[in-house]
Amino acid sequence: MRQYILRRLLIAVPSLLGISLVLFTVLALAPGDPFAELVTNPNVPPEVAASLRAKFGLDDPVYVRYLRWLSAMAQGDWGFSFVSRMNVDMLILQRLPTTLYVIGSAQILALLIAIPVGVFAATRPYSIFDQIANTLAFIGFSLPTFFTGLLFILIFSITLDWLPFVYSSDIKATGIRWLFEHIRQAIMPVMVLGLFQAASMTRFVRSAMLDVIRLDYVTTARAKGLGQSRVIVKHAMRNAMIPVVTLVALQMPAVFGGAIVTEQIFRIPGIGSLLISSILSNDTPVVMAVTFVFACLVVLFNLIADVLYGWLDPRISFR
């Protein structure tokens, strides 16, 4: 097991190198300039912008810049943001808790909805419950998050005035009130992300469950006289969860991507909004670092999914 993980991690190194090379090249080829804002400002003479470019090494050839970035990264130096002149790792770490809190809650919400609903729908296919769940799931994943986000804001913030729609990363209250405020402001973004995720996951859980529930061993279990709930939970669900785990694990990094839009709408100071604002201001070191973190997450969650398989289905062995 340990050997397997080690081997997988070693394989990840060349793929991450390749990813970083592609990312860097694309960013270097993309037009734009971190000092664009200075150009129309008559207070700043053009030579200043030019000397800043030179100072930050923007005028060097792409391969020199890549090698410089790579060697710095290897030593744990993520570089510094051109825009805020702050270390990139600090910027990312500052944003991480919020992203994990919001995305994590959304993912948990999605699972809490999808698994029971999907399993229940599969046990009674084409019943009224199944039909309703299906319809809602279709609606859920047809509506993009930017639309549901705005819709929620219109209903819950503007019309009903129940929830705030500007996310504040630090709340001045303490104790219970602090917790309450944190939950209150996260309700809308978590709902938007969670329901969207839940919709597609429900469909997935349902079909995975349907596949398993017709298998002979389930019938055998029933014939043994086991109760319905025991058969479903212990025998059918455990097997049905294998594809679901893959889906969830592979969706984790994608959720970070999906959160970009939601974070922008609700002003959540997460990694997604950091990425957007860095792209808009052509802050290459930050864009590079964030996309690279995404790449690492994809690799990491793939590994986690594979390890989880073994736990769910001991027949799968690690070699």
Partner 1 sequence: MLDTELRTMIDEVKDGRMDRRAFVQRMLAFGLTAPMATQILAVGGVAMAQSPAPYKPTKRGGGGPLKLLWWQGATLLNPHFATGTKDQDGSRLFYEPLASWDANGNLCPILAAQIPSIQNGGLAADGKSVTWKLKPGVKWHDGKPFTADDVVFNWEYARDPATAALTIGVYQDITVEKIDDLTVRVLFKNPTPFWADAFVAVVGCILPKHLFAEYKGAKSREAPNNLKPVGTGPYKFVEFKPGDLVRGEINPDYHMPNRPYFDTIEIKGGGDAVSAARAVIQTGEYDYAWNMQVEDEVLLRLEKGGKGKTVYTTGGDIEFIALNFTDPNTEIDGERSSMKTKHPLFSDPAVRKALALLIDREAVQKHIYGRAGRTTASFLNGPEQFVSKNTKWEFSVEKAVQVLEEAGWKAGADGIREKDGKKLKILYQTSINGPRQKTQAIVKQACRKAGIDIELKSVVASVFFSSDVANPDTYSKFYADIQMFQIPMTQPDPAQHMRRFHSRFVATKENKWQGRNFPRWVNKEFDAAIDAAEAETDPVKRAAHYIKANDIMWQDTVTIAVQHRLKVGAAVNSLRPVLSGWTNDTDNIQDWYREA
List of residues contacting partner 1 (CB under 8 A): 31-33, 35-53, 55, 80-81, 83-86, 91, 94-95, 153, 157-158, 161, 164-166, 168-170, 172, 264-267, 269, 273-274, 277, 280-282
DSSP H helices in 124-224: 128-142, 145-152, 175-213, 216-223
Give the residue ranges of DSSP H helices in 56-174: 62-74, 88-123, 128-142, 145-152
Alpha-carbon distance of 140 to 302, in angstroms, equals: 26
Question: What is the Cα–Cα distance from 117 to 148, expressed in whole angstroms?
Answer: 21
Closer of 239 and 273 to partner 1 (Cβ)? 273
Q: Least distance to partner 1 from the beta carbon of 99, Å?
A: 12
**Residue closer to partner 1 (CB basis): 46 or 314:** 46
Residues 146 and 103: their CA atoms lie apart, in Å, by: 15
168 or 220, CB closer to partner 1? 168
Shortest Å distance, C-beta 145 to partner 1: 15
d(CA 114, CA 153): 24
Q: Minimum CB separation from partner 1 for residue 186, in Å?
A: 16
Least CB distance to partner 1 at residue 49 (A): 5
Q: Which of 85/315 has CB closer to partner 1?
A: 85
Contact at 8 Å (CB) between 203 and 118?
Answer: yes
Nearest residue (CB) to partner 1, 94 versus 302: 94
Nearer to partner 1 by C-beta: 128 or 158? 158
Distance in angstroms (rounded) separating the CA atoms of residues 302 and 306: 6
* Minimum CB distance to partner 1 smaller for 56 or for 309: 56
Separation between Cα atoms, residue 225 and residue 245, nearest integer Å: 29
Find tokens 């419950």 and name the residue: 129
C-alpha distance from residue 295 to each of 263, 270, 289, 291, 300 (Å): 20, 17, 10, 6, 9
CB of 177 to partner 1, least distance (A): 15
Q: How far is the CB of 50 from partner 1 (least distance, A)?
A: 7
d(CA 275, CA 294): 11
In one-letter notation, the amino acid at residue 76 is G
Smallest separation, CB 53 to partner 1 (Å): 7
Q: Which residue has the tokens 């971190």?
A: 34
CB of 274 to partner 1, least distance (A): 6
Q: Which is nearer to partner 1, 11 or 151 (CB)?
A: 151
DSSP state of 32: -
Distance CA 278, CA 290 (A): 10
